Structure 1
Amino acid sequence: MRKTVLPAVLAGLALACGPAWAQGARTAAGEGDLAVFKKACSGCHKWHGGGGGGYGGDALSLRKTQLDKEQVAEVVRCGRPGTGMPYHLRGAYETVKCYDSLKADMAGNMPPETAVFLRPAEIDAVATYVVTQLKGKGDPTAAECTAFFGTTSRACDVYRKKEGSDAPTVSH
């Protein structure tokens, strides 16, 4: 009796509270799609999503991805087995199957665990950001740089100069 009641109670709580909790996780901290990308992805994929070698390893370009939103979300949740792309969902490969596999099925091919897990709403936010703001884009622009760093960062000066923009730069 006890074994069947607890899962039913937990499932009922998840259905009743899930959508409100997920929305609250995103809005309570004021995190939009870009904020979650900054926190979880830019360390490897860089601010522009172009990836490459350097400070995050050899991350793939999100600007060139062919994945749709659900596929991006799956990669964020589950990582990429056999690569350095970590999984960001607590319980991935343990209580949640990834690529139809659990940890025992993965042998030595487990992706690394991230340092900071993301909530489902944050994973959705990252996937939304990737497919709406990065996928299919060409070279990074001054406007994209400014959206990421803000108007007071010198990081965007190179893009402003390249584009001949009159946008203000930071002076010291």
Structure 2
Amino acid sequence: MGVLWGVVTVGMAVSAGGGPVVRAQEPSDTTIAAGRRIYTQKADCQACHGWAGDGQKMDYQSPDGANLRVSTLDRDQLIFVIKCGLPGRDMPAFDRLSYTDDRCLGRTRADLGRMGLKLPDPATTLQSREIERVADFLLTKVVGQGEMDRAKCVDFWGEEVDVCSEF
């Protein structure tokens, strides 16, 4: 169990390099807003990762999500994790075809079962462009942004909202 996903996790961490993420083209404000809506509403990522992506989950019945604010994953790695999840680690796969073909390391759900790895069902599935928008939102507003404060909160939501008064 740990070998396959340990290799994936270590490979992602090593290849991320810890430096700033550089993209060929910055996502538009519309793309970022769409990604935030998918994160907070459709996919309900905040249930596990918290509205700020800091791992302070919104639903205490949900699994503990990673603190994405300290993540070093790049865009391709985020897209992979959102699409394929992390079997055995409570991160669901949001691509409806994950583990039906070779898109997730060539593994199927049957392979995961033989390996003793569970993969929770997502609240909903996402299309590829929706997954990309979530990744763009995360890279712009969450990943590598450090601890949340009032200014980051207003920037995160695009306006002053009640939750920002906590900071």
Q: Above 0.5 in TM-score? A: yes
1:142 aligned to 2:150? yes
Query: Could you tell me which amino acid in structure 2 is paired with residue 47 of structure 1?
Result: W
Q: Which residue of 2 aligns with 1:124?
A: 132
Instruction: Check whether the contact 1:48–1:144 (CA below 8 A) recurs between aligned residues.
Output: no
1:106 aligned to 2:115? no
Task: Report the Cα distance in structure 2 between the residues aligned to 1:131 and 1:153, rounded to whole angstroms.
Answer: 21
TM-score by length of 2: 0.69
TM-score by length of 1: 0.67
C-alpha distance 144-58 of structure 1, shift in aligned 2 (>3 A): same
Task: Report the Cα distance in structure 2 between the residues aligned to 1:120 and 1:61, rounded to whole angstroms.
Answer: 23
Query: Could you tell me which amino acid in structure 1 is paired with residue 48 of structure 2?
Result: C
Instruction: Check whether the contact 1:149–1:155 (CA below 8 A) recurs between aligned residues.
Output: no
Task: Report the Cα distance in structure 1 between the residues aligned to 2:87 and 2:56, rounded to whole angstroms.
Answer: 19
Of 43, 47, 52, which residue of structure 1 is paired with 2:51? 47
SS in structure 1 opposite 2:152? helix
Instruction: Check whether the contact 1:92–1:98 (CA below 8 A) recurs between aligned residues.
Output: yes
Deviations 1:86-141 (A, max 9, x none): 11011111135312311121123131120210110010011111222211112102
51-60 or 88-97, larger mean C-alpha shift: 51-60
C-alpha distance 60-134 of structure 1, shift in aligned 2 (>3 A): same
For the aligned residue pairs, the C-alpha RMSD in angstroms reads 2.4
1:156 aligned to 2:164? yes
Gaps of 5+ in 1: 1-25, 160-172
Task: Report the Cα distance in structure 2 between the residues aligned to 1:99 and 1:68, rounded to whole angstroms.
Answer: 18
- The alpha-carbon deviation at position 150 of structure 1 amounts to 6.1
Alignment of 1:41-120 (within 5 A): 41-52=45-56, 55=59, 56-107=62-113, 108-120=116-128
Larger RCO, structure (CA 8 Å, separation 6 or more): 2
Query: Could you tell me which amino acid in structure 1 is paired with residue 38 of structure 2?
Result: V
Q: Percent identity?
A: 32
Larger radius of gyration: 1
